[in-house]
Amino acid sequence: MKKSFIVISLMILSVFSLTYCTKNDGVLNLNPPEAASTGDTLFSVKVAAGPTILSPGSTWGGADTLFWKDAPKLTETVTVPEVIGDVVSFSGFIGNSNKVTLQSVYDANNIYFLVQWDQAQPNMESSPWYYNTSTKRWAQGGAAPTYDVNGILTMQSFVSDQFDMIYNINNSCAGFVTQSCYGACHQNVSSLVMDTITGNITSKITNVMHTNGPSEKLDCWRARMYFVMNASQAIDYYIDWNGGVPTANAVHGNQSVSNGANPPVYSSTAATNGAGGVSNTQSLTITGTSIKASVPLWVKPSGGYINAALIPSDTTSSGTAVKVIAVDSTGILTLKNGSTLNPNTGTTYVQVGTGIGNNDQSTWIPGKIVAPYTGLMGNVGANAHWTGKGWQLLLKRALKTPDVLQQDVDFSSLDTQQFGIALMFQPVGSKNAADNEHAIKPGLTLKFKQ
Under a CB-based contact definition with an 8 Å cutoff, are residues 79 and 97 in contact? yes
Average pLDDT over residues 204-209: 69
Confidence of residue 89 (pLDDT cuts 50, 70, 90): low
Average pLDDT over residues 314-326: 96
Average pLDDT over residues 147-158: 82
Task: Kindly state whether residues 168 and 252 are assigned to the same domain.
Answer: yes
Q: Does residue 1 belong to any structural domain of this protein? A: no
pLDDT above 50: residue 253: yes
* Phi, psi angles (nearest 5°) of residue 375: -110, -150
Under a CB-based contact definition with an 8 Å cutoff, are residues 67 and 52 in contact? no
Task: Kindly state whether residues 21 and 101 are assigned to the same domain.
Answer: yes
Task: Kindly state whether residues 420 and 288 are assigned to the same domain.
Answer: no
Task: Kindly state whether residues 414 and 351 are assigned to the same domain.
Answer: no
DSSP secondary structure, 159-201, as one string: ---EEEEEEEGGG--TTHHHHGGGGGEEEEEEEEEE-TTT--E
User: What is the model's pLDDT at position 10?
Assistant: 29
Distance CA 20, CA 13 (A): 15
Confidence of residue 90 (pLDDT cuts 50, 70, 90): low
Compute, in degrees rounded to 10, the torsion defined by CA atoms 7, 8, 14, 18: 20
Last residue of a domain, one of 323, 339, 368: 368
User: What is the model's pLDDT at position 94?
Assistant: 76
Residue 203: strand, helix, or coil = strand
Q: Which helix (H) or strand (E) is 221 found in, with range?
A: strand 218-224
Distance CA 258, CA 248 (A): 13
First-last CA distance in the chain: 44
Distance CA 261, CA 250 (A): 14
User: What is the model's pLDDT at position 439?
Assistant: 86
pLDDT above 80: residue 200: no
Under a CB-based contact definition with an 8 Å cutoff, are residues 418 and 176 in contact? yes
Task: Kindly state whether residues 32 and 56 are assigned to the same domain.
Answer: yes
Distance CA 171, CA 304 (A): 46
Task: Kindly state whether residues 248 and 175 are assigned to the same domain.
Answer: yes
Q: Which residue range forms the structural domain that includes residue 306?
A: 129-140+278-368
Confidence of residue 293 (pLDDT cuts 50, 70, 90): very high
Q: Does residue 419 belong to any structural domain of this protein? A: yes
Q: For 80-84, 130-134, 222-226, which range has the lowest pLDDT when averaged over its residues?
A: 80-84
Last residue of a domain, one of 312, 340, 368: 368
User: What is the model's pLDDT at position 14?
Assistant: 34
* Phi, psi angles (nearest 5°) of residue 10: -95, 15
Average pLDDT over residues 423-438: 61
Q: For 124-128, 270-274, 412-416, which range has the lowest pLDDT when averaged over its residues?
A: 270-274
Task: Kindly state whether residues 348 and 424 are assigned to the same domain.
Answer: no
Average pLDDT over residues 395-405: 95
Task: Kindly state whether residues 383 and 358 are assigned to the same domain.
Answer: no
Q: Does residue 312 belong to any structural domain of this protein? A: yes
Report the CATH number at residue 187: 2.60.40.1190
Q: For 7-11, 259-263, 277-281, 354-358, which range has the lowest pLDDT when averaged over its residues?
A: 7-11
Confidence of residue 2 (pLDDT cuts 50, 70, 90): very low
Distance CA 232, CA 51 (A): 14
pLDDT above 80: residue 206: no
Confidence of residue 235 (pLDDT cuts 50, 70, 90): very high
Confidence of residue 418 (pLDDT cuts 50, 70, 90): very high
Distance CA 296, CA 313 (A): 17
Q: Does residue 347 belong to any structural domain of this protein? A: yes
DSSP secondary structure, 12-25, as one string: -----GGG----BT
User: What is the model's pLDDT at position 339?
Assistant: 96
Last residue of a domain, one of 346, 368, 390: 368
pLDDT above 90: residue 79: no
Average pLDDT over residues 397-410: 95
Q: Which of residues 330 and 3 earns the better pLDDT score?
A: 330
Q: Does residue 270 belong to any structural domain of this protein? A: no
14-53: pLDDT as tens digits: 333 343 343 333 333 433 333 333 459 999 999 999 999 9
For the ranges 30-34, 295-299, 345-349, the maximum mean pLDDT occurs at 295-299
Task: Kindly state whether residues 324 and 287 are assigned to the same domain.
Answer: yes
Which of 265, 33, 84, 94 is closest to 189 using CA atoms? Answer: 84
Task: Kindly state whether residues 169 and 251 are assigned to the same domain.
Answer: yes
Task: Kindly state whether residues 95 and 181 are assigned to the same domain.
Answer: yes
Q: Does residue 149 belong to any structural domain of this protein? A: no
User: What is the model's pLDDT at position 1?
Assistant: 37
User: What is the model's pLDDT at position 210?
Assistant: 87
Residues 6+ apart with CB under 8 A from 361: 123, 124, 125, 128, 308, 433
Task: Kindly state whether residues 302 and 387 are assigned to the same domain.
Answer: no
Average pLDDT over residues 53-79: 95
* Phi, psi angles (nearest 5°) of residue 18: -75, -10
- What is the rounded average pLDDT for all residues in the chain? 83
User: What is the model's pLDDT at position 46?
Assistant: 98
Q: Which of residues 436 and 41 earns the better pLDDT score?
A: 41
Confidence of residue 177 (pLDDT cuts 50, 70, 90): confident
The number of domains in the chain is 2
Confidence of residue 292 (pLDDT cuts 50, 70, 90): very high
Q: Using a cut of 0.75, tell me whether the model's pTM lies above it.
A: yes
Q: Does residue 68 belong to any structural domain of this protein? A: yes
User: What is the model's pLDDT at position 110?
Assistant: 98
